[in-house]
Chain A
């Protein structure tokens, strides 16, 4: 049982849990404690040194919004954002109550009136912004994957196709989201015309920008993965006279999954990084807009709040990477130990 847990933590990348489990099992206590000290003690000390350095250096820099906030102020701002979140939720409850009362009155006057409960119109809280950002990045990422994986497989299977598409990949891969955004904005405005749109234009603009910037690592890794499949496997498929579709689904995809996931992990990382810039410029709700709005507000809280956002962005990025890493390990079958 304990071994299985240890195995799970190794797989998910939380290797620093493993010594604790070993210790609980009574497996060579001295070795485990030493391992705990290096794996946990060192990062903790580094973190403390970082916080101390930040604390002392921050007060030395005077900006037009006052001194750069230290760790304590940033913590306060984070707590403030949580309080605001609760206050907003309270307002939301009251909003629905008022609406129920109003609708009841309308029904009294006109019993046949068909009414609907309207969603809360208040501001999105910090947590809403995080959720929106995640939703946007995953939409962009999913679109990118849908384009990149099939293209990558074609590249890997056909040398001619690869040669044809290679220059395009090389040219578009390094383009910054800031360059894509104006083009995407104009194209979306021209093409996405609807009187009752499903999605906000700004949402589509940022999602597509994320797609354009993040699909390249997946494309390249998929192509490499497919191209480096064991020749024996391909030969087997020839002997068995598998159809093209069966070949792709039964042989090509499974054997290149590991590299595909390496690509996906890189893509998601790029996507998350690009998203913040895209949201800032497209004014799409989310963490990027939060940072931009705070910068525009220029209040004495703004810098602290922006720093909270910086840590949130970093932390969410880290969690996304861990999730992808775990998925990557899970699909690479017996290769975990390597």
Chain B
């Protein structure tokens, strides 16, 4: 056995050695193929994954700290990235093997909105986990318009109609109402837009054909991009009046006393898919066994996070509060990770499904989830013109890869690490959830009929509409 260590700083391993290892693997290919998912099957054991400092990167941290990656023969380095664009660019350039991504990123990249690249995902990292927060000043104005509970606290969820009344007041004073979200193709952008539109506020259209990527055409509320960790500071500075972001940045606003969350995304769309684990298609084609091994480790990590009624959540919160992961204080992270959410100082309410990592088949990459994001891209003009239903199906099937997920899950079942009952029935699963009726505005969503759904939404582009 050869021993090689490399010294700091970060020199990677010599190609010569990798060549030796790979050729060994090829030589023993016949043997390896029979050994079921053995670590020596892995084409590329040294991997680097990127993530953004958000609680929903937890499956990556758990898979690392609980040695699930190592069990698959993977030596993974996790590296925090500066923002979503840098993260995506580094995955495309190959500096990162894969990353924690916004559900809209692989879709946006594949259809060429923003950076064009073939990115796929075989693993959905979590459900829910976001909130919309407004500054103290807006909250004060909002409270004057809100129905209150007997104890004087506002009734939740706070409907967007009340926010509209506040926005209208700002408009009368001639002040544009500005809010932040994290990325043009982020789940947060679509959730915030969905919420605003449900109250009759137009969040503005994109017109990529005319070169408009600001997304503020005809907007009642001006949305702009701010990286998640800078959200509270940007709101404190008065540049934005509110934002939609993942945890811990909503709870951070409460702890710092600079704002109050008005709604969680669970209340906008129950169990909405949030982050995915994305890799380039080329990477997957080159290292299929490696990808499968990564998915196996991630499935186990997600399972651990939700196991036995979330009993491991405190440990997980402690784990990711380390400075190299999320780095925020434990009590801030634990707040939402353990099923509670603090709307204002002292106003702690139960939101047991605020973070879902495994139950409800959270990790399975549903085509219908992909199509929902595509419908929202069309609704707000990021997809500039009409596409037939079949186009939506094709893109979803190109990007979401339940086949890889199923292969990984079946190996875990065969190894006795998971039970078949933990997963959807792979023989019959179509990848489409039944019609979803749990949106805040009550409009049902059927993933098999994207155009009919787009036309049923009140505000937004419909049919063959184009932004003029």
A109 vs B32: C-alpha distance when bound (angstroms): 10
Hey, what's the 0/1 contact readout for B306-347 against A, CB within 8 Å counting as 1? 000000000000000111101111001000000000000000
A283 vs B48: C-alpha distance when bound (angstroms): 15
> Is B326 within 8 A of A297, CB to CB?
yes
Contact of A285 among B10, B27, B236 (CB under 8 A): B10
> Is B327 within 8 A of A299, CB to CB?
yes
> Is B15 within 8 A of A196, CB to CB?
yes
A300 vs B327: C-alpha distance when bound (angstroms): 10
A197 vs B12: C-alpha distance when bound (angstroms): 7
Question: Smallest Cβ distance from A59 to chain B, in angstroms?
Answer: 18
> Is A98 within 8 A of B93, CB to CB?
no
A128 vs B8: C-alpha distance when bound (angstroms): 8
Hey, what's the 0/1 contact readout for A64-81 against B, CB within 8 Å counting as 1? 110000000000000000
A107 vs B2: C-alpha distance when bound (angstroms): 12
A293 interfacial contact with B, CB 8 Å: yes
A106 interfacial contact with B, CB 8 Å: yes
Give the residues in chain A near B75, CB-CB below 8 Å. 118, 121
Name the interface residues of B20-47: CB closer than 8 Å to any CB of A. 20-21, 24, 27-28, 31, 35, 38-40, 45-46
A119 vs B45: C-alpha distance when bound (angstroms): 12
Known: A102-B39, A110-B28, A132-B8. A299 touches B20 (CB 8 A): no
Give the residues in chain B near A294, CB-CB below 8 Å. 323, 327
> Is A121 within 8 A of B76, CB to CB?
yes
A305 vs B329: C-alpha distance when bound (angstroms): 14
> Is A203 within 8 A of B10, CB to CB?
yes
A112 interfacial contact with B, CB 8 Å: yes
Hey, what's the 0/1 contact readout for B46-66 against A, CB within 8 Å counting as 1? 100000010000000000100
Residue of A nearest to B333 (CB): A299
A131 vs B24: C-alpha distance when bound (angstroms): 36
B80 interfacial contact with A, CB 8 Å: yes
B18 interfacial contact with A, CB 8 Å: yes
Known: A198-B11, A299-B321, A299-B329. A117 touches B229 (CB 8 A): no
> Is B93 within 8 A of A189, CB to CB?
yes
A301 vs B10: C-alpha distance when bound (angstroms): 27
A197 vs B15: C-alpha distance when bound (angstroms): 9
Give the residues in chain B near A200, CB-CB below 8 Å. 9-10, 12, 95
> Is B8 within 8 A of A110, CB to CB?
no
B443 interfacial contact with A, CB 8 Å: no
Hey, what's the 0/1 contact readout for A101-122 against B, CB within 8 Å counting as 1? 0110011011011111111010
Give the residues in chain B near A196, CB-CB below 8 Å. 12, 14-15, 18
> Is A298 within 8 A of B12, CB to CB?
no
A123 interfacial contact with B, CB 8 Å: yes
Give the residues in chain B near A110, CB-CB below 8 Å. 28, 31, 40
A242 vs B45: C-alpha distance when bound (angstroms): 59
B417 interfacial contact with A, CB 8 Å: no
12 contacting pairs across A/B (C-beta < 8 A): A106-B39, A112-B27, A114-B21, A116-B1, A116-B4, A117-B3, A118-B45, A200-B9, A293-B324, A296-B80, A299-B329, A305-B323
Which residues in A have some Cβ–Cβ distance to B below 8 Å? 64-65, 98-99, 102-103, 106-107, 109-110, 112-119, 121, 123-124, 128, 131-132, 135-136, 189, 195-201, 203, 283, 285, 292-294, 296-302, 305
Among all A-B residue pairs, the 4 with the closest Cβ atoms: A297-B327, A123-B324, A196-B15, A296-B229
